[in-house]
Amino acid sequence: MSYMQMAQLDVLNLLKGINTEGDYMDFRNMLARYFADKAQKQIDTLWENGTIDEKTVEAWGNERMRTPYRYAIHRP
């Protein structure tokens, strides 16, 4: 059994215990915190090894990353 399959079974078993909206919100927050912590660790690693710095973060803040709208594609 792969780690992904084991994780899926664990999540399904956790879901059995969710009986209220409060339980559901706690579960969602737990998942959000877990993935936010993982992302923060990766960001910290990139910062520490010099891959990103203040200039990089400022450049990201100024980027416009919207997908161009193509009116012709959506015309009937």
pTM tops 0.75: no
For the chain, how many structural domains are there in total?
1
Q: Is the dihedral of CA 19, 21, 23, 29 positive or negative?
A: positive
* pLDDT-derived band at 35, boundaries 50, 70, 90: very high
Report residue 13 as tokens: 């078993």
Nearest CA to 30 out of 41, 44, 19, 18 is that of 18
The answer, yes or no, to whether residue 76 has pLDDT greater than 70, is: no
pLDDT (mean) for 3-28: 94
Q: Rounded to an integer, what distance in angstroms lies between the CA atom of residue 25 and that of residue 33? A: 12
The answer, yes or no, to whether residue 72 has pLDDT greater than 80, is: no
Which range among 38-42, 50-54, 59-63 shows the weakest confidence by mean pLDDT? 59-63
| Amino acid occupying residue 45 | T
- The percent helix, strand, coil of the chain (3-state, each to 5) is 70, 0, 30
Domain that holds residue 50: 3-74
pLDDT attached to residue 64: 83
